[in-house]
Amino acid sequence: MTQSQYHFLSPNVTISINLGFPNLSIDVWTPDGPNATKGVSEQFFGPGVSEAFATSLVAFNEHVSAEDDALTDWVQHGLLGGLPDTGRFLTNSKQLVIHFQKTIAAAVGLSCQAAEKAGPGR
């Protein structure tokens, strides 16, 4: 692999392919109560992948997941106080979050233009 790839399949499934030897990570999240989510990650490696590479990549993915979990837990905790009136995305660094939000808006029948007119972060 010469370039990492990260694919969003649906609101709760992603596929990641990282640099280096053949590898694939599938992540699935499911609700675990009204204010919690449970995630499952599976790592797959192609033939001939060294144990050191596999161990290193699994550790990297676990580290990134822990960072993501801390961020989403923080946001979830904040949202328990009610929805914010406004918000703003860092559009240069959060394209995937923006894409996710637009995809969900489209899935529930809102056009992207309507979502954008509602204001940033809505």
Is the pLDDT at 19 greater than 60, yes or no?
A: yes
Q: Please state the length of the chain.
A: 122
What predicted TM-score, i.e. pTM, was given to this entire model? 0.62
CA–CA distances in Å: residue 81 to residues 69, 75, 76, 78: 19, 10, 9, 6
Task: Give residue-wise pLDDT tens across range 34-83.
Answer: 777 888 899 999 999 999 999 999 999 899 888 888 887 887 777 777 76
